[in-house]
Amino acid sequence: MIQTCEQIPYPQLAEQFGTPLYVYSQDALTQAYRAYETAFSGSQPLICYAVKANSNLSIIQHFAQLGSGFDTVSGGEIARVLAAGGSADKIIFSGVGKTVAEMQFALQNNIKCFNVESLPELDRLNEVAGKMGKIAPISLRINPDVDAKTHPYISTGLKANKFGIAMSDAERAYQHAASLPHLQIVGIDCHIGSQLLDLSPLSAACERILHLIDKLAAQGIELQHIDLGGGVGINYRPNDNPPDLQPYADKVAQLLAGRDLALILEPGRSLVGNAGSLITRVEYVKQGEEKNFVIVDAAMNDLIRPALYQAYHHIDNVDGSRQNRMVADIVGAICETGDFLAQEREIAAQQGDLLRVHSAGAYAASMASNYNTRNRAAEVLVSGSQARLIRQRETFDDLIAHEKACLVE
Ligand code: LLP
C-alpha cells in the first residue's frame, strides 16, 4: 500500500512537484478548525490562528474562509493576513519587540487588538497612536507563572521568560495603561507555552487571569475579552493520544459562565501540525561502522525541529510494502552534525525511495532557511483529488536576488 494525501498518492505528488515537498491536506485543516469550534461551542470564541505556525498565504486564506481571526507577531505576518484576504478587525498583534513602523502599519489597518508585553511598549504605542490621531485597542499579556510542562525553549509563561508582564506588576501596568490617552484597554491575554500535552496548566492560567480581572474590575478597569493564547499539543508519535480539547473547553466555559467576557484563542500547531507532511527522497543509504545513515534530500533547513528541540517526528516509507527494516539516523546533506530528522530510527529505506516525515504542517516551512544555499522546498495543498502548488520551489536566482558581487579588484 502506497500512502496518500486525501486521494492523491504521495509518489504522484513527488513526481509532479519534486522533492523535498511539503504536502498539506485541506480537509485536515478544516477538521482541526472545526474541532475547536465544536469543543468551545459553549463559549463562542474568536479563534485566532497563530500565523507563525504556517504562514503560507493559502493556509491563511483557508482559515479566513472558515471564519478565523489571526494572531500575528510581526508587520510581515499582518501583511500576509491582509494579502490573503483576512479581515483586519480579526487580527491581534502579539510579540515583545514591536517596532514603531510595525505599530504604525497595524494602526493604519485598524487591527482588532495589540497584545502589549511591557510598560515601555505601552508608552511607545500611546505615542505612536497619538501622533497618528488614533486610539490603539490594547490587551496586556500577563505572565500567569504557570509551568506549562513542555520543552524549555517553548515554555513561555514562567517568571524567567522574556514574555509578558509579571502577575505582580499587572495591576500597576493596567493603571498606567488607563492613564494613557491614546490607548483603549479592551482585554487581557496570556500564552504559557507550546506543545502542551496536559491541558490543565491552561485552565489554571485562565483561573489566575480571571482572579486578576476581578481585581481590575474593583479598580474600575473593565475588560471586554480574555485571550488564553495557544499551546495545545499534537501527537507526534503514531500511538500518542492527542490532548482532549473538550475537558479544557468545558472548564473554560464553566469559569467564564455568568461573565460578560468574550473569549479569544490563539492556536497554531494544533490547527496545522498534523495536516502536513514533508516528503523526501532517499539519496543514499550509507552503512557506517557504528551506525547506518539514510541520507535524504530534505534537511534541517526544511525542518529544524529535531535539531533545535530534539523533537520527534514520525517517519515512514511512503511504500508500506518495503521490507528490510534497519536502524538508522535519517539525515540531510547539510554540513552540521545536528542535521538530522531522526536518530536511531527503525526504517525500511532504499536509494530512491520516498519517506514521509509526519506532523510537518506546523513550524516546518515557516521555520525553513536557505542554509548551505539550499532552495526552500515547494508546498502543495491537496483537496480530494486536486493538488494546488501554494509555494513554488525556490530557484538559485531567488536565493541571490538581493546580493551583489560588487567588489572592485
Ligand atoms: N500565541 C502566542 C503568543 C505564541 O507565542 C504562540 C507560539 C502561539 C500563540 C501558538 O502556539 P501553538 O498553539 O502553536 O502552540 N517553534 C516551536 C514552537 C514555538 C511556539 C511559539 N509561540 C516548535 O516548533 O515547537
Write the pLDDT tens digit of every residue in 156-207.
655 667 889 999 999 999 999 999 999 999 999 999 999 999 999 999 999 9
Residues 218 and 193 in one domain: yes
- Please report, for the domain that includes residue 205, its CATH number: 3.20.20.10
List, for residues 223-252, the tens digit of each pLDDT value: 999 999 999 999 999 988 889 999 999 999
Tens-digit pLDDT string for the chain (409 aa): 999 999 999 999 999 999 999 999 999 999 999 999 999 999 999 999 999 999 999 999 999 999 999 999 999 999 999 999 999 999 999 999 999 999 999 999 999 999 999 999 999 999 999 999 999 999 999 998 887 766 555 556 556 678 899 999 999 999 999 999 999 999 999 999 999 999 999 999 999 999 999 999 999 999 999 999 999 999 999 988 889 999 999 999 999 999 999 999 999 999 999 999 999 999 999 998 899 999 999 999 999 999 999 999 999 999 999 998 999 999 999 999 999 999 999 999 999 999 999 999 999 999 999 999 999 999 999 999 999 999 999 999 999 999 999 997 7
Q: Is 252 contained in some domain?
A: yes
The answer, yes or no, to whether ipTM is higher than 0.95 is yes
User: Are 261 and 124 in the same domain?
Assistant: yes
Q: What atom of ligand 1 comes closest to residue 94's alpha carbon?
A: 3
Q: Are residues 368 and 261 part of one domain?
A: no
Q: Which of 206, 232, 265 is the last residue of a domain?
A: 265
Domain boundary among 217, 240, 265: 265
* CATH value at residue 285: 2.40.37.10
Please indicate, yes or no, if residue 374 is contained in any of the structural domains: yes
Q: Are residues 395 and 260 in the same domain?
A: no
Q: Known binding site for pyridoxal 5'-phosphate: residues? A: 231, 266-269, 363
Is residue 324 domain-shared with residue 350, that is, in the same domain? yes
When divided into structural domains, the chain yields a total of: 2
Owning domain of residue 364? 274-400
For residue 269, give the ligand 1 atom closest to its CA.
14
Task: Based on the fold, state whether residues 112 and 249 are members of the same structural domain.
Answer: yes
Q: Is 113 part of the annotated catalytic residue set?
A: no
Q: Is residue 226 part of a domain?
A: yes
Candidate from 226, 264, 269 with most ligand 1 atoms within 8 A of CB, to mutate: 269
Q: What is the pLDDT of residue 152?
A: 57
Per-residue 3-state assignment (H helix, E strand, C coil) for the chain? CECEECCEEHHHHHHHHCCCEEEEEHHHHHHHHHHHHHHCCCCCCEEEEEHHHCCCHHHHHHHHHHCCEEEECCHHHHHHHHHCCCCHHHEEECCCCCCHHHHHHHHHCCCCEEEECCHHHHHHHHHHHHHHCCCEEEEEEEECCCCCCCCHHHECCCCCCCCCEEHHHHHHHHHHHHHCCCEEEEEEECCCECCECCCHHHHHHHHHHHHHHHHHHHCCCCCCEEECCCCECCCCCCCCCCCCHHHHHHHHHHHHCCCCCEEEECCCHHHHHHHEEEEEEEEEEEECCCCEEEEECCCCCCCCHHHHHCCCCCEEECECCCCCEEEEEEECCCCCCCCEEEEEEEEECCCCCEEEECCCCCCCHHHCCCCCCCCCCEEEEEECCEEEEEECCCCHHHHHCCCCCCCCC
Mark which of 265, 288, 318 sits at the end of a domain.
265
